[in-house]
Chains A and B, each alone.
Chain A
Amino acid sequence: MVNHFLPQPFYLISLYIKNSFKTSNMKSKVYRILLLFICFNSLVFAQEQEQKQEDDKYYLIGIETGFDFLNCNPPDKSYIRADINTYSYNYVTSNITALSYKYYAGMKIERKFLKKKLGILSGIRLTQNTGTIGKTTYWSNTSEYFFFRIENNETSSEYLRVKELKEENLFLGVPLEIKIFPYKSKKMNIYYKIGVEFNYLLKSENDVLFYDPLMNERKDDVTHLLEKPDSFTSFLYVAAGIRIKAGKNMINLEGCLPSVNLFPESSGLVSPNYGGGVQLNFQLPL
Protein backbone atom coordinates (compact mmCIF):
# COMPACT_ATOMS: atom_id res chain seq x y z
CA MET A 1 0.00 0.00 0.00
CA VAL A 2 1.51 3.26 -1.07
CA ASN A 3 1.10 6.30 1.16
CA HIS A 4 0.00 9.28 -0.94
CA PHE A 5 -1.76 11.47 1.60
CA LEU A 6 -1.03 10.89 5.29
CA PRO A 7 1.78 11.89 7.67
CA GLN A 8 4.00 8.95 8.49
CA PRO A 9 2.98 8.18 12.15
CA PHE A 10 -0.69 8.34 11.30
CA TYR A 11 -0.09 6.14 8.29
CA LEU A 12 1.63 3.47 10.38
CA ILE A 13 -1.18 3.53 12.94
CA SER A 14 -3.81 3.16 10.20
CA LEU A 15 -1.84 0.31 8.64
CA TYR A 16 -1.70 -1.48 12.02
CA ILE A 17 -5.43 -0.94 12.52
CA LYS A 18 -6.24 -2.20 9.03
CA ASN A 19 -4.16 -5.33 9.44
CA SER A 20 -5.56 -6.07 12.84
CA PHE A 21 -9.10 -5.74 11.47
CA LYS A 22 -8.61 -8.99 9.63
CA THR A 23 -8.36 -11.07 12.82
CA SER A 24 -10.08 -9.16 15.64
CA ASN A 25 -13.68 -9.24 16.94
CA MET A 26 -16.30 -6.45 16.82
CA LYS A 27 -15.40 -4.83 20.18
CA SER A 28 -11.79 -4.72 19.22
CA LYS A 29 -12.69 -3.16 15.87
CA VAL A 30 -14.62 -0.37 17.61
CA TYR A 31 -11.63 0.33 19.87
CA ARG A 32 -9.34 0.49 16.87
CA ILE A 33 -11.66 2.87 14.99
CA LEU A 34 -11.77 5.07 18.09
CA LEU A 35 -7.98 5.05 18.26
CA LEU A 36 -7.84 6.07 14.60
CA PHE A 37 -10.26 8.93 15.25
CA ILE A 38 -8.24 10.17 18.24
CA CYS A 39 -5.02 10.07 16.26
CA PHE A 40 -6.59 12.00 13.40
CA ASN A 41 -7.91 14.73 15.69
CA SER A 42 -4.57 15.01 17.49
CA LEU A 43 -2.84 15.54 14.20
CA VAL A 44 -5.27 18.24 13.12
CA PHE A 45 -5.02 19.96 16.50
CA ALA A 46 -1.23 19.96 16.29
CA GLN A 47 -1.33 21.53 12.84
CA GLU A 48 -3.76 24.19 14.05
CA GLN A 49 -1.49 25.04 16.97
CA GLU A 50 1.45 25.45 14.66
CA GLN A 51 -0.56 27.74 12.39
CA LYS A 52 -1.74 29.78 15.40
CA GLN A 53 1.84 30.27 16.47
CA GLU A 54 2.60 31.57 13.01
CA ASP A 55 -0.45 33.83 13.10
CA ASP A 56 0.56 35.17 16.49
CA LYS A 57 3.74 36.66 14.96
CA TYR A 58 2.91 40.42 14.80
CA TYR A 59 6.29 41.67 13.60
CA LEU A 60 7.78 41.23 10.16
CA ILE A 61 11.17 42.37 8.97
CA GLY A 62 11.94 42.81 5.32
CA ILE A 63 14.07 44.26 2.56
CA GLU A 64 12.67 46.28 -0.30
CA THR A 65 13.70 47.66 -3.65
CA GLY A 66 11.86 49.68 -6.27
CA PHE A 67 11.81 52.52 -8.75
CA ASP A 68 9.61 55.48 -9.66
CA PHE A 69 9.32 57.60 -12.81
CA LEU A 70 8.33 61.19 -12.15
CA ASN A 71 6.68 63.83 -14.31
CA CYS A 72 8.44 67.20 -14.29
CA ASN A 73 7.49 70.77 -15.03
CA PRO A 74 9.05 72.10 -18.27
CA PRO A 75 12.31 73.69 -17.18
CA ASP A 76 12.22 77.48 -17.05
CA LYS A 77 15.84 78.39 -16.59
CA SER A 78 17.50 81.78 -16.94
CA TYR A 79 20.50 80.09 -18.56
CA ILE A 80 18.68 78.03 -21.23
CA ARG A 81 17.63 79.60 -24.53
CA ALA A 82 13.99 78.75 -25.12
CA ASP A 83 12.95 76.71 -28.11
CA ILE A 84 9.60 75.82 -29.61
CA ASN A 85 8.22 72.97 -31.63
CA THR A 86 8.39 73.91 -35.33
CA TYR A 87 5.11 72.13 -36.05
CA SER A 88 3.19 73.14 -32.96
CA TYR A 89 4.12 76.65 -31.91
CA ASN A 90 2.33 76.46 -28.57
CA TYR A 91 4.62 73.76 -27.26
CA VAL A 92 8.21 73.86 -26.09
CA THR A 93 10.40 71.61 -28.16
CA SER A 94 11.34 68.21 -26.83
CA ASN A 95 15.00 69.35 -26.85
CA ILE A 96 14.35 70.90 -23.44
CA THR A 97 12.41 68.13 -21.75
CA ALA A 98 12.91 67.52 -18.04
CA LEU A 99 12.86 63.94 -16.76
CA SER A 100 13.25 62.48 -13.31
CA TYR A 101 13.43 58.96 -11.95
CA LYS A 102 14.55 57.32 -8.75
CA TYR A 103 15.43 53.87 -7.54
CA TYR A 104 15.84 52.79 -3.96
CA ALA A 105 16.58 49.95 -1.56
CA GLY A 106 15.99 49.62 2.13
CA MET A 107 14.86 47.69 5.14
CA LYS A 108 11.56 47.91 7.01
CA ILE A 109 9.83 46.47 10.06
CA GLU A 110 6.09 45.89 9.98
CA ARG A 111 3.87 45.69 13.06
CA LYS A 112 0.41 44.25 12.62
CA PHE A 113 -2.74 45.38 14.39
CA LEU A 114 -6.46 44.66 14.39
CA LYS A 115 -6.19 40.95 13.74
CA LYS A 116 -3.55 41.62 11.15
CA LYS A 117 -5.82 43.72 8.97
CA LEU A 118 -3.65 46.76 9.55
CA GLY A 119 0.10 47.06 9.34
CA ILE A 120 2.36 49.97 10.22
CA LEU A 121 5.80 50.04 8.65
CA SER A 122 8.94 52.04 9.02
CA GLY A 123 12.58 51.59 8.34
CA ILE A 124 15.45 53.07 6.45
CA ARG A 125 15.84 53.67 2.74
CA LEU A 126 18.64 54.73 0.40
CA THR A 127 17.38 56.54 -2.73
CA GLN A 128 19.22 57.59 -5.87
CA ASN A 129 17.28 60.35 -7.65
CA THR A 130 18.31 61.37 -11.18
CA GLY A 131 17.07 64.45 -13.01
CA THR A 132 17.92 65.36 -16.60
CA ILE A 133 17.25 68.20 -19.01
CA GLY A 134 17.65 67.47 -22.71
CA LYS A 135 16.93 63.73 -22.83
CA THR A 136 13.59 62.87 -24.36
CA THR A 137 13.34 59.30 -23.05
CA TYR A 138 14.62 57.62 -19.92
CA TRP A 139 16.58 54.96 -21.75
CA SER A 140 18.20 56.54 -24.78
CA ASN A 141 20.59 59.42 -25.37
CA THR A 142 19.64 62.37 -27.52
CA SER A 143 21.29 63.73 -30.63
CA GLU A 144 19.56 67.13 -30.25
CA TYR A 145 20.95 70.04 -28.28
CA PHE A 146 19.90 73.29 -26.67
CA PHE A 147 21.81 76.51 -26.02
CA PHE A 148 23.16 77.04 -22.50
CA ARG A 149 24.06 80.67 -21.77
CA ILE A 150 27.28 80.62 -19.88
CA GLU A 151 28.09 84.32 -20.00
CA ASN A 152 26.05 87.46 -20.43
CA ASN A 153 27.65 90.91 -20.20
CA GLU A 154 26.81 94.24 -21.78
CA THR A 155 28.27 93.63 -25.22
CA SER A 156 28.41 89.86 -25.57
CA SER A 157 26.74 86.60 -24.70
CA GLU A 158 28.25 83.17 -24.90
CA TYR A 159 26.24 80.03 -25.48
CA LEU A 160 27.37 76.44 -25.34
CA ARG A 161 25.54 73.72 -27.21
CA VAL A 162 24.50 71.13 -24.65
CA LYS A 163 22.80 67.79 -25.24
CA GLU A 164 22.06 66.94 -21.64
CA LEU A 165 22.29 68.31 -18.12
CA LYS A 166 22.20 65.69 -15.40
CA GLU A 167 21.85 65.76 -11.65
CA GLU A 168 22.26 62.71 -9.40
CA ASN A 169 21.25 62.97 -5.76
CA LEU A 170 21.68 60.35 -3.06
CA PHE A 171 19.25 60.48 -0.16
CA LEU A 172 18.96 58.65 3.14
CA GLY A 173 15.33 58.42 4.09
CA VAL A 174 12.77 57.13 6.54
CA PRO A 175 9.51 55.76 5.11
CA LEU A 176 6.35 55.67 7.23
CA GLU A 177 3.59 53.47 5.82
CA ILE A 178 0.18 52.08 6.69
CA LYS A 179 -0.98 48.87 5.04
CA ILE A 180 -4.58 47.73 4.96
CA PHE A 181 -5.61 44.15 4.34
CA PRO A 182 -9.36 44.35 3.72
CA TYR A 183 -9.71 40.74 2.61
CA LYS A 184 -9.37 37.50 4.55
CA SER A 185 -5.82 36.28 4.76
CA LYS A 186 -5.01 33.62 2.20
CA LYS A 187 -1.91 32.36 0.51
CA MET A 188 -2.21 35.33 -1.85
CA ASN A 189 -3.74 38.54 -0.56
CA ILE A 190 -4.34 42.03 -1.91
CA TYR A 191 -3.57 45.07 0.20
CA TYR A 192 -3.51 48.85 -0.04
CA LYS A 193 -0.89 51.17 1.29
CA ILE A 194 -0.39 54.84 1.98
CA GLY A 195 2.96 56.23 2.94
CA VAL A 196 5.23 59.21 3.25
CA GLU A 197 9.00 59.30 3.10
CA PHE A 198 11.37 61.89 4.49
CA ASN A 199 14.75 62.10 2.81
CA TYR A 200 18.02 63.75 3.73
CA LEU A 201 20.50 64.63 1.00
CA LEU A 202 23.82 62.82 1.34
CA LYS A 203 25.42 63.68 -1.97
CA SER A 204 24.68 65.64 -5.14
CA GLU A 205 26.56 65.58 -8.44
CA ASN A 206 26.05 67.32 -11.77
CA ASP A 207 27.19 66.31 -15.20
CA VAL A 208 27.06 67.87 -18.66
CA LEU A 209 27.02 66.26 -22.09
CA PHE A 210 28.17 68.74 -24.74
CA TYR A 211 27.26 68.62 -28.41
CA ASP A 212 30.88 69.48 -29.23
CA PRO A 213 33.21 67.24 -27.19
CA LEU A 214 35.87 69.97 -27.36
CA MET A 215 33.73 71.95 -24.90
CA ASN A 216 34.20 69.35 -22.15
CA GLU A 217 36.81 71.61 -20.60
CA ARG A 218 33.98 74.09 -19.88
CA LYS A 219 32.08 71.59 -17.71
CA ASP A 220 32.83 73.40 -14.45
CA ASP A 221 31.64 76.70 -15.96
CA VAL A 222 28.28 75.06 -16.61
CA THR A 223 27.84 73.05 -13.41
CA HIS A 224 28.50 75.97 -11.10
CA LEU A 225 25.46 77.74 -12.60
CA LEU A 226 23.09 74.84 -11.90
CA GLU A 227 20.71 74.86 -8.95
CA LYS A 228 21.51 72.73 -5.94
CA PRO A 229 18.75 70.68 -4.28
CA ASP A 230 17.61 71.38 -0.76
CA SER A 231 18.80 69.08 1.99
CA PHE A 232 15.34 67.64 2.66
CA THR A 233 12.72 66.21 0.34
CA SER A 234 9.51 64.37 0.99
CA PHE A 235 7.17 62.19 -1.06
CA LEU A 236 3.62 61.05 -0.42
CA TYR A 237 2.47 57.88 -2.13
CA VAL A 238 -0.37 55.42 -2.47
CA ALA A 239 0.08 51.83 -3.54
CA ALA A 240 -1.75 48.59 -4.07
CA GLY A 241 -0.03 45.27 -3.82
CA ILE A 242 -0.18 41.51 -3.75
CA ARG A 243 1.23 39.54 -0.85
CA ILE A 244 2.23 35.97 -1.55
CA LYS A 245 3.03 33.64 1.33
CA ALA A 246 5.98 31.38 0.69
CA GLY A 247 6.15 29.22 3.78
CA LYS A 248 6.92 31.55 6.65
CA ASN A 249 8.07 34.29 4.29
CA MET A 250 6.13 36.95 2.44
CA ILE A 251 6.77 38.32 -1.02
CA ASN A 252 5.05 41.61 -1.80
CA LEU A 253 4.75 43.21 -5.23
CA GLU A 254 3.32 46.74 -5.27
CA GLY A 255 2.30 49.26 -7.88
CA CYS A 256 2.68 52.80 -6.60
CA LEU A 257 0.52 55.52 -8.13
CA PRO A 258 0.68 58.33 -7.51
CA SER A 259 3.89 59.30 -5.83
CA VAL A 260 3.69 63.05 -5.15
CA ASN A 261 6.62 65.32 -4.40
CA LEU A 262 5.55 67.49 -1.48
CA PHE A 263 8.21 70.15 -2.18
CA PRO A 264 8.87 70.19 -5.96
CA GLU A 265 10.65 73.52 -5.94
CA SER A 266 13.32 72.26 -3.58
CA SER A 267 14.47 69.55 -5.93
CA GLY A 268 17.34 71.26 -7.73
CA LEU A 269 17.84 71.00 -11.48
CA VAL A 270 14.37 69.64 -12.27
CA SER A 271 11.04 69.93 -10.44
CA PRO A 272 9.36 66.52 -10.26
CA ASN A 273 5.66 66.70 -9.46
CA TYR A 274 4.23 63.20 -9.37
CA GLY A 275 4.76 59.79 -10.83
CA GLY A 276 4.47 56.11 -10.21
CA GLY A 277 6.50 53.00 -9.91
CA VAL A 278 6.92 49.47 -8.68
CA GLN A 279 8.26 47.99 -5.44
CA LEU A 280 9.28 44.46 -4.53
CA ASN A 281 9.90 43.42 -0.96
CA PHE A 282 10.55 40.26 1.00
CA GLN A 283 9.45 39.82 4.61
CA LEU A 284 10.18 37.34 7.40
CA PRO A 285 8.34 36.99 10.68
CA LEU A 286 10.34 38.13 13.69
Chain B
Amino acid sequence: MKKILFLLFTALGLLSCENTELEKSVFISDIDYPELPKYSEWGYNTFGAYIDREVFVSNNTKIPFKIINTNNITSFIFHGEKEYREMLLIFKLSGYNPQSSGDLIILNDTIINLKSPDIQIEIIEDGKTKECILLNGYFHIKRSQNLIVDGKQTEIILSGIFEFQALLNGIPTTMSDGRFDVGIAKDNFYSY
Protein backbone atom coordinates (compact mmCIF):
# COMPACT_ATOMS: atom_id res chain seq x y z
CA MET B 1 0.00 0.00 0.00
CA LYS B 2 2.81 2.38 0.93
CA LYS B 3 4.60 1.55 -2.31
CA ILE B 4 1.49 2.26 -4.34
CA LEU B 5 1.01 5.61 -2.63
CA PHE B 6 4.68 6.46 -3.14
CA LEU B 7 4.48 5.64 -6.85
CA LEU B 8 1.26 7.60 -7.19
CA PHE B 9 2.71 10.70 -5.59
CA THR B 10 5.90 10.37 -7.66
CA ALA B 11 3.89 10.15 -10.87
CA LEU B 12 1.82 13.16 -9.86
CA GLY B 13 5.01 15.01 -9.01
CA LEU B 14 6.54 14.24 -12.39
CA LEU B 15 3.41 15.34 -14.19
CA SER B 16 3.25 18.57 -12.27
CA CYS B 17 6.94 19.27 -13.02
CA GLU B 18 6.23 18.83 -16.72
CA ASN B 19 3.24 21.19 -16.59
CA THR B 20 5.19 23.78 -14.64
CA GLU B 21 7.95 23.86 -17.24
CA LEU B 22 5.47 24.27 -20.10
CA GLU B 23 3.46 26.89 -18.21
CA LYS B 24 6.44 29.20 -17.86
CA SER B 25 6.58 32.27 -20.07
CA VAL B 26 9.65 32.35 -22.29
CA PHE B 27 10.11 35.89 -23.58
CA ILE B 28 12.45 36.08 -26.54
CA SER B 29 12.69 39.60 -27.91
CA ASP B 30 11.76 40.32 -31.49
CA ILE B 31 14.83 41.55 -33.36
CA ASP B 32 12.89 44.38 -35.02
CA TYR B 33 10.66 45.21 -32.02
CA PRO B 34 12.69 44.37 -28.90
CA GLU B 35 9.86 45.32 -26.53
CA LEU B 36 7.66 42.61 -28.04
CA PRO B 37 8.21 38.86 -27.99
CA LYS B 38 9.19 37.43 -31.34
CA TYR B 39 6.54 35.43 -33.17
CA SER B 40 6.93 31.74 -32.39
CA GLU B 41 4.99 28.48 -32.42
CA TRP B 42 6.57 26.71 -29.44
CA GLY B 43 3.92 27.53 -26.82
CA TYR B 44 6.11 30.08 -25.06
CA ASN B 45 3.07 31.66 -23.31
CA THR B 46 3.81 35.18 -24.44
CA PHE B 47 1.99 37.87 -26.35
CA GLY B 48 2.56 41.51 -27.18
CA ALA B 49 1.27 44.44 -29.19
CA TYR B 50 1.68 48.17 -29.57
CA ILE B 51 -1.23 50.37 -28.49
CA ASP B 52 -0.25 53.47 -30.40
CA ARG B 53 3.29 53.86 -28.99
CA GLU B 54 2.74 52.04 -25.72
CA VAL B 55 3.48 48.36 -25.23
CA PHE B 56 0.92 45.83 -24.06
CA VAL B 57 2.72 42.62 -23.21
CA SER B 58 2.51 39.45 -21.13
CA ASN B 59 4.47 39.16 -17.88
CA ASN B 60 5.66 36.41 -15.56
CA THR B 61 3.10 36.92 -12.81
CA LYS B 62 -0.26 36.64 -14.62
CA ILE B 63 -1.49 33.67 -16.62
CA PRO B 64 -1.15 35.26 -20.06
CA PHE B 65 -4.08 33.59 -21.82
CA LYS B 66 -7.40 32.01 -20.88
CA ILE B 67 -10.37 30.76 -22.90
CA ILE B 68 -13.81 30.88 -21.34
CA ASN B 69 -16.83 29.36 -23.06
CA THR B 70 -20.17 30.19 -21.50
CA ASN B 71 -23.61 31.27 -22.73
CA ASN B 72 -22.73 30.60 -26.37
CA ILE B 73 -19.81 33.04 -26.24
CA THR B 74 -16.15 32.08 -26.25
CA SER B 75 -13.78 34.70 -24.85
CA PHE B 76 -10.07 34.81 -25.68
CA ILE B 77 -8.55 36.72 -22.77
CA PHE B 78 -5.06 38.21 -22.91
CA HIS B 79 -3.91 39.28 -19.44
CA GLY B 80 -0.76 41.36 -19.18
CA GLU B 81 0.44 44.88 -18.52
CA LYS B 82 0.73 48.18 -20.28
CA GLU B 83 3.32 50.57 -18.90
CA TYR B 84 3.31 48.63 -15.60
CA ARG B 85 -0.49 48.87 -15.30
CA GLU B 86 -2.60 45.73 -15.38
CA MET B 87 -4.55 45.30 -18.60
CA LEU B 88 -6.86 42.72 -20.18
CA LEU B 89 -7.70 42.44 -23.86
CA ILE B 90 -10.72 40.23 -24.55
CA PHE B 91 -11.93 38.98 -27.94
CA LYS B 92 -15.48 37.64 -27.62
CA LEU B 93 -16.67 35.27 -30.33
CA SER B 94 -20.36 34.33 -30.51
CA GLY B 95 -21.59 31.02 -31.88
CA TYR B 96 -18.40 29.08 -31.28
CA ASN B 97 -18.60 26.61 -28.38
CA PRO B 98 -15.57 24.38 -27.79
CA GLN B 99 -16.27 21.90 -25.01
CA SER B 100 -12.64 21.08 -24.30
CA SER B 101 -9.23 22.47 -25.20
CA GLY B 102 -8.91 19.72 -27.81
CA ASP B 103 -11.75 21.31 -29.80
CA LEU B 104 -9.54 24.32 -30.45
CA ILE B 105 -7.58 22.35 -33.05
CA ILE B 106 -10.14 23.32 -35.72
CA LEU B 107 -9.00 26.94 -35.40
CA ASN B 108 -5.81 26.15 -37.35
CA ASP B 109 -5.16 28.91 -39.94
CA THR B 110 -8.33 30.80 -39.06
CA ILE B 111 -8.71 34.51 -39.76
CA ILE B 112 -11.43 36.29 -37.81
CA ASN B 113 -12.61 39.60 -39.24
CA LEU B 114 -13.02 41.82 -36.20
CA LYS B 115 -15.69 43.90 -37.96
CA SER B 116 -17.97 40.85 -37.97
CA PRO B 117 -21.13 41.27 -35.83
CA ASP B 118 -20.18 38.02 -34.02
CA ILE B 119 -17.10 39.70 -32.55
CA GLN B 120 -16.78 42.06 -29.63
CA ILE B 121 -13.65 43.48 -28.08
CA GLU B 122 -13.30 44.49 -24.47
CA ILE B 123 -10.37 46.31 -22.86
CA ILE B 124 -9.99 46.52 -19.08
CA GLU B 125 -7.19 48.74 -17.83
CA ASP B 126 -6.43 49.12 -14.13
CA GLY B 127 -9.79 47.53 -13.34
CA LYS B 128 -11.73 50.01 -15.53
CA THR B 129 -13.53 48.88 -18.68
CA LYS B 130 -13.00 51.07 -21.74
CA GLU B 131 -15.72 51.59 -24.25
CA CYS B 132 -14.51 50.05 -27.50
CA ILE B 133 -15.95 50.70 -30.97
CA LEU B 134 -14.13 48.66 -33.59
CA LEU B 135 -13.25 50.34 -36.86
CA ASN B 136 -11.33 47.50 -38.58
CA GLY B 137 -8.93 44.69 -37.87
CA TYR B 138 -8.31 40.95 -37.82
CA PHE B 139 -7.40 38.15 -35.47
CA HIS B 140 -5.45 35.41 -37.24
CA ILE B 141 -4.78 32.07 -35.56
CA LYS B 142 -1.95 31.00 -37.85
CA ARG B 143 -1.44 27.68 -36.19
CA SER B 144 -3.35 25.49 -33.77
CA GLN B 145 -1.49 22.33 -32.87
CA ASN B 146 -1.56 19.41 -30.49
CA LEU B 147 1.42 19.23 -28.22
CA ILE B 148 2.59 15.72 -27.31
CA VAL B 149 5.22 15.29 -24.62
CA ASP B 150 6.84 11.91 -24.04
CA GLY B 151 4.04 10.27 -25.96
CA LYS B 152 1.18 11.96 -24.08
CA GLN B 153 -1.12 14.68 -25.42
CA THR B 154 -0.48 17.63 -23.13
CA GLU B 155 -1.96 20.87 -24.45
CA ILE B 156 -3.06 22.84 -27.49
CA ILE B 157 -0.76 25.59 -28.73
CA LEU B 158 -2.35 28.60 -30.40
CA SER B 159 -0.06 30.98 -32.27
CA GLY B 160 -1.04 33.97 -34.33
CA ILE B 161 -1.17 37.68 -34.99
CA PHE B 162 -3.71 40.46 -34.63
CA GLU B 163 -4.22 44.16 -35.15
CA PHE B 164 -7.13 46.57 -35.19
CA GLN B 165 -8.20 50.17 -35.00
CA ALA B 166 -10.92 51.26 -32.59
CA LEU B 167 -12.38 54.17 -30.68
CA LEU B 168 -11.43 53.61 -27.04
CA ASN B 169 -13.54 55.90 -24.86
CA GLY B 170 -14.02 57.91 -28.03
CA ILE B 171 -10.29 58.23 -28.77
CA PRO B 172 -9.02 56.70 -32.04
CA THR B 173 -6.45 54.09 -31.11
CA THR B 174 -4.43 51.58 -33.10
CA MET B 175 -3.32 48.22 -31.78
CA SER B 176 -0.55 46.99 -34.09
CA ASP B 177 2.09 44.24 -34.46
CA GLY B 178 0.10 41.99 -32.14
CA ARG B 179 1.40 38.43 -31.77
CA PHE B 180 0.74 35.53 -29.44
CA ASP B 181 2.07 32.05 -28.74
CA VAL B 182 0.15 30.39 -25.90
CA GLY B 183 -0.61 26.94 -24.58
CA ILE B 184 -4.08 25.88 -23.51
CA ALA B 185 -4.69 23.00 -21.17
CA LYS B 186 -7.20 22.16 -18.47
CA ASP B 187 -5.97 24.89 -16.13
CA ASN B 188 -6.68 27.81 -18.49
CA PHE B 189 -9.67 26.50 -20.42
CA TYR B 190 -13.14 26.94 -18.93
CA SER B 191 -16.43 25.71 -20.31
CA TYR B 192 -19.55 25.97 -18.20
Residues of B within 8 A of A161 (CB): 18, 149-150
* Interchain CB contact under 8 A, B108 and A157: no
* Interchain CB contact under 8 A, B60 and A89: yes
* Interchain CB contact under 8 A, A158 and B44: no
Nearest CB of A to B174, in Å: 28
* A79-87, A102-110, A112-120, A253-261: which lies at the interface: A79-87
Q: Which of A82, A156, A158, A160 is within 8 Å of B28, CB to CB?
A: A82
Task: Indicate whether A227 reaches chain B with its CB closer than 8 angstroms.
Answer: no
Instruction: List residues 127-148 of chain B with CB under 8 A from any CB of chain A.
Output: 143-148
* Interchain CB contact under 8 A, A157 and B144: no
Residues of A within 8 A of B44 (CB): 82
Task: Indicate whether B66 reaches chain A with its CB closer than 8 angstroms.
Answer: no
In the complex, given contacts A82-B28, A156-B145, what are 7 additional A-B residue pairs having Cβ atoms less than 8 angstroms apart? A83-B24, A147-B22, A154-B145, A155-B146, A156-B147, A161-B18, A214-B151
Residues of B within 8 A of A160 (CB): 149-150
Q: Which of A81, A86, A145, A155 is within 8 Å of B145, CB to CB?
A: A155
Contact with B along A128-161 (1 / 0, CB 8 A): 0000000000000000010101000011111111
Given A81-B42, A89-B60, answer yes or no on A155-B148 (Cβ-Cβ < 8 Å): no
Task: Indicate whether B105 reaches chain A with its CB closer than 8 angstroms.
Answer: yes
Enumerate chain B interface residues (CB-CB to A < 8 A): 18, 21-22, 24, 26-28, 41-42, 44, 60, 105, 108, 143-151, 157
Task: Indicate whether A225 reaches chain B with its CB closer than 8 angstroms.
Answer: no
* Assembly CA distance A212 to B11 (angstroms): 11
Task: Indicate whether A215 reaches chain B with its CB closer than 8 angstroms.
Answer: yes
Interface size range on A against B = 20 to 34
Residues of A within 8 A of B146 (CB): 155-157
* Assembly CA distance A145 to B22 (angstroms): 12
Residues of A within 8 A of B150 (CB): 159-161, 211-212, 214-215
* Interchain CB contact under 8 A, B148 and A154: no
* Assembly CA distance A246 to B27 (angstroms): 60
* Interchain CB contact under 8 A, A157 and B157: yes
Nearest CB of B to A145, in Å: 8
Nearest CB of B to A217, in Å: 10
* Assembly CA distance A121 to B108 (angstroms): 64
Q: Which of B26, B42, B108, B148 is within 8 Å of A158, CB to CB?
A: B148
